């Protein structure tokens, strides 16, 4: 019989608290931060919309490719049947 395995996680000694980064947002006033956040949200929404449109286009091209590929196989099969 095997021995017991030690379980659980070990605690880190001297775990550091999360430190906030020092950037230009820390020096902005509240009004500027509100405008910046609004602008960033708008850019995020636009980027998300563009990405979704690109993904839809990519999926459409993929579907067209597979549909035409299937049609080509069908046509080749009918040609081979006519040849025989």
The Cα–Cα gap between 76 and 84 comes to 12
What pLDDT does residue 69 have?
A: 97
What pLDDT does residue 20 have?
A: 79
What pLDDT does residue 13 have?
A: 63
Is 1 a residue whose pLDDT tops 60?
no
pLDDT tens-digit map of 12-63: 666 677 887 788 888 889 999 999 999 999 999 999 999 999 999 999 999 9
pTM of structure: 0.56
Q: Alpha carbon 55 to chain centroid distance?
A: 11
């Amino acid at each position: 019989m095997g021995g017991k395995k030690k379980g659980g996680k070990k605690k880190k000694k001297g775990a550091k608290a999360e430190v906030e980064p020092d950037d230009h947002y820390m020096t902005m006033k509240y009004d500027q931060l509100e405008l910046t956040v609004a602008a960033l949200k708008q850019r995020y929404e636009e980027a998300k919309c563009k990405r979704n449109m690109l993904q839809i286009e990519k999926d459409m091209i993929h579907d067209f490719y597979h549909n035409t590929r299937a049609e080509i196989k069908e046509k080749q099969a009918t040609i081979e049947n006519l040849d025989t």
